[in-house]
Amino acid sequence: MKVIVTKNYEEMSALAAKEFAAVIQNKADCVLGLATGDTPIGMYRELVAMHEKNGLDFSKVSSVNLDEYYPITPDNDQSYRYFMNYHLFDHVNIDKANTNVPDGTAVDPDTFCRDYEAKIDALGGIDIQVLGIGRNGHIGFNEPDANGLIPDTHLTDLTANTIEANSRFFSSMDEVPKQALTMGIHSVFKARKIVILASGEGKADAVRAMLAGKITTTCPASLLCIHPDVTLICDEAAYSKV
């Protein structure tokens, strides 16, 4: 894994955006693997600025997103579809028909997951995938599990901690989704290039575990060490325990 340590969140975001812009400039009809959460917001802001100032062209770009709550409707302001529209898609010239976020309203989630995996394959795989890392080392909603991980896109139960943490965004506990649809580690590995981002001291333990030199399903991010093209871009605070 290539490691780049930056001074701060802004520098991390700018570097990550540069990696994405290079792929888009090199291949107009590329496939972007996208993530939600606080970490990639700065990168999306940079990409929007590159579109507005330098005409970075998304017109032929496709995208696939890592995960989505289940169940949830796309117009819910806590859905990941809403997040993507708000932070990126509404501000660049991407055709929303070419953007894929797991469908939180799917009636048959198992069939949906199989189709989502097939969709990634039909697009020819992902050219560049951005990932955040959870404080517990998760990627997407692939939570640490000593008993193993499900490799492909699947429906997963959220842990009690995650439900509790998410409850602050919803008006009542009943409204907090208890499950999510997530790409698996194998789906993520279909990306030719992966950029994993980490910012802040809160991620320092997870970054240390990821780079500890051992791959283990108790730290899903550690599995990235066996992918041939992964770059960790993290700030000094996130790297402080390595």
Closest by CA position to 71, among listed 100, 34, 109, 101? 109
Backbone angles phi, psi at 156, to 5 degrees: -135, 150
Residue 75 annotated as catalytic: no
Site for ligand PGA in 58-97 (CB under 6 A): none
Catalytic residue among 46, 51, 65, 67, which? 67
Decide if residue 39 touches ligand PGA (CB under 6 A): yes
What CA–CA distance (Å, rounded) separates 56 from 47? 8
Q: Which of 116, 113, 123 is nearest to 62 (CA)?
A: 123
Residue with tokens 């998304």: 58
Residue 164 interacting with ligand PGA (CB under 6 A): no
Query: Which of 134, 144, 184, 220 is the binder for ligand PGA (CB under 6 A)?
Result: 134
What is d(CA 242, CA 80) in angstroms, rounded to the nearest whole number?
31
Q: Are 4 and 19 in contact (CB under 8 A)?
A: no
Q: Is 52 a catalytic residue?
A: no
Tell whether residue 38 is a contact of ligand PGA (CB under 6 A). yes
Near ligand PGA by CB under 6 A: residue from 1, 3, 19, 37:
37
Q: Which is nearer to ligand PGA, 38 or 229 (CB)?
A: 38
By rule CB under 6 A, what count of residues binds ligand PGA? 7
Nearer to ligand PGA, 128 or 238 (CB): 238
| Residue 62 DSSP SS3 | strand
Catalytic site positions: 67, 136, 138, 143
Task: Give residues in contact with ligand PGA (CB under 6 A).
Answer: 37-39, 132-134, 138
